[in-house]
Amino acid sequence: MTGPGAMRGLVFLLIGAPVMAGALGTLVLSLAEPGLGAYARAVALPGLAESLAATLISGLGATLGALLISVPLGLRAWRDARLRAALAPVLALPHAALALGLAFLLAPSGWIARLIGGVAGWALPPEVVTVGDPFGITLMVGLILKEVPFLVLMTLSAASMVPALAQMRAGQALGHSPGSVWRRAIWPQLLAQLRLPLAVTLAFSLSVADMALLLGPSHPPTLAVQILRLFTAPDPAQRPVAAALAVLLLAVMGGAMLSWRLVEPGFLRLLPLGPRQRDLPVASLFLWLGALLLAGVVAVLGLWSLAARWPWPATMPELGLQGWRGVHWLVPAVTTLALGLAASGLALLLAIALLEASDRADRPLCIGALLLLPLLLPQIGFLPGLTTAFLWLGLPSGPMVVLWAELLFTFPYALIVLAGPWQALDRAMLRSAASLGAGPWSCLWRVKLPLLARPIAAAAAVGFAVSVAQYLSVLLPGAGRVVTLGTEAVALASGADRRAAAVMGLLQMLLPLLAYGAALAMPPRAPGLPRRRDDC
């Protein structure tokens, strides 16, 4: 293996460069018309202000809301191992499937309304606006449901770096309730660590397209959907306008990051509010609400996939297998599985190579913004430019470029999951292995990898889940030739057949769960771990 410089170069070529090229391509395209013409036309679009408002409300609202909710839930998860164990499968939930189920659940004529209406005797669905509301509030709810588990997990990881247990004991000895110690003493120390995860959450929430198509407003839609529409419009003159909007979205992202630094002190001042001696049951409230919604999502997807007909006001469908028989789910399922295995496998290889190269140079890897670039820039800002760049390079549209595009997202996540345990490896053990004559390869193969079998399995499972959930990175570089469960679920949801969409959503949900199950089945230490010390 070559030095860390070469390894970093390779990572830059595979991950950083495509993102930058894509973003640059977008910027160049937005300047294609003389005198900032594309920007002028973008500003003149009907409903731009409303688009921007829905984007900000859903994107910023979801990030702030998820952060607020993650404070009490973070404490609960920190103290409750069962809740920690339950986080992983929720994290693995693909967002398109989640949005699909939420839409079936929350629509004015959705399952909840039918259950209430069945009791209350409603002849017609209530005239309330839920799914597709003009401000993007339903979208915000969906995003919060998606992002809270991620932020809770990041909170736990940050809490492991401070002496939280000792501080909790000390605070409780002073008469504070656990919630009070957490909010006043422990959590404020974690905030600096949470900035990067927050930026990832914000970038995702601002640029999500599949969830916005299923839950968000359509007239006008959020910026991400508007950009997608304009990029794929029949009139090529719309593409610079779409690029200008994408640059606007990047600016919104940048502005939000900057203003977060201004909001942060205020946020910290908010935390000490509330009682000192006892805890309000907010964590339980959010936990039950979230669990109820998630259970409803899974149940309603299951029911729709087994429905023959399910018109208003029936609370239960007539059962039938039309959903499973009517669509070809096997090909997209196999494609999704194959892409997931390849994208997570490559991501894992790359992450291990990068970490190992840093070890050999004796320079700990700093996971900074550059490595996480694909997660920090809104996807819709660089993927269209990247698709064009692939064409210019002569790379044919299809599974290979989709795999590359997916790697942009599976790699950073695999790296995040693996880097902590990797760097926490007992250095003394590695040094003694080396002093006993083990070369770096032997040390990697016989000490590090066996010791890290579980984190490696976890990183692979996370990479797989990220791959299964991809939408834009399949749709745009795939030229429609690559059909996954995610793209099918969204495409079918825009058609008349919910049953078929539900089948795709269910399968999309099932695949990452299987991967997590496989990762959990991995013994804590692989049996290959050497027992005789003179071995290495």
Partner 1 sequence: MRRLLAVLLLLAAPAWAGWDETLAEARGQTVYFNAWGGDPRTNAFLDWVGEQTEARFGVAVQQVKLSDTAEAVARVRAEKAAGQGSGGAVDLVWINGPNFLAMKQEGLLFGPVLADLPNARFLDLAPGAPATTDFTEPVAGMEVPWRLAKFVLAHDTARAPEMPADMAGLVGWAAAHPGRLTHPNAANFIGASFLKQALLELAPDPAVLAQPATDASYGRETAPLWAWYAALRQNLWRAGRAFPESESVQAQLVNDGEIDVAMFFDPAAPAALIEAGLLPETMRVWVPRGGTLGNVSFVAIPLNAAHRAGAMVVADFLLSPEAQARMQDIRVLGSYSVLDPARLGAAERAEFAALPKAPALPALTDLGPTLSEPHPSWMTRLAEDWARRTTP
Binding stretches for partner 1 (CB under 8 A): 46-47, 50, 107-109, 124-125, 127, 129, 132, 134, 217-220, 229, 231-236, 307-313, 318, 320, 322, 326-328, 387-388, 391-392, 396-398, 479-481, 483, 488, 490-492, 494-500
Between 9 and 37, name the residue whose CB sits nearer to partner 1: 37
Q: What is the DSSP letter of 221?
A: B
Q: How far is the CB of 509 from partner 1 (least distance, A)?
A: 20
Q: How far is the CB of 108 from partner 1 (least distance, A)?
A: 6
Question: Which tokens is 147 given?
Answer: 């992002």
Between 103 and 416, name the residue whose CB sits nearer to partner 1: 103
Structural contact between residues 422 and 452, judged by C-beta atoms closer than 8 angstroms: yes
Between 231 and 260, name the residue whose CB sits nearer to partner 1: 231
User: What are the DSSP E strand ranges found in 4-74?
Assistant: none
Structural contact between residues 180 and 168, judged by C-beta atoms closer than 8 angstroms: no
Q: What is the chain's Cα-based Rg? A: 24
What phi, psi does 309 have (nearest 5°)?
-140, 150
How many Cα atoms occupy the beta-carbon half-sphere of 216 within 13 Å? Answer: 33
Q: How far is the CB of 397 from partner 1 (least distance, A)?
A: 5
Q: How far is the CB of 494 from partner 1 (least distance, A)?
A: 5
Between 231 and 382, name the residue whose CB sits nearer to partner 1: 231
Q: Identify the CA nearest to 208 among candidates 299, 95, 327.
A: 95
Q: What is the DSSP letter of 446?
A: I
Between 403 and 453, name the residue whose CB sits nearer to partner 1: 403
Structural contact between residues 50 and 134, judged by C-beta atoms closer than 8 angstroms: yes
Q: How far is the CB of 308 from partner 1 (least distance, A)?
A: 5
Q: How far is the CB of 341 from partner 1 (least distance, A)?
A: 22
Q: Identify the CA nearest to 418 among candidates 371, 374, 378.
A: 371
Q: Identify the CA nearest to 470 among candidates 502, 511, 499, 500.
A: 511
Residues 6+ apart with CB under 8 A from 509: 93, 94, 97, 298, 301
Give the Cα separation of 476 and 384 in Å (integer): 7
Between 327 and 456, name the residue whose CB sits nearer to partner 1: 327
Q: How far is the CB of 232 from partner 1 (least distance, A)?
A: 5
Between 47 and 302, name the residue whose CB sits nearer to partner 1: 47
Phi-psi region of 271 (alpha: psi -120 to 50; beta: other; left: phi over 0): alpha
Q: How far is the CB of 497 from partner 1 (least distance, A)?
A: 5
Q: How far is the CB of 127 from partner 1 (least distance, A)?
A: 6
Between 81 and 120, name the residue whose CB sits nearer to partner 1: 120
Burial class (CB in 10 A: 0-12, 13-18, 19+), 47: middle
Pairing of strands 307-309, 318-319: antiparallel
Between 264 and 497, name the residue whose CB sits nearer to partner 1: 497
Question: Which tokens is 228 given?
Answer: 């997608």
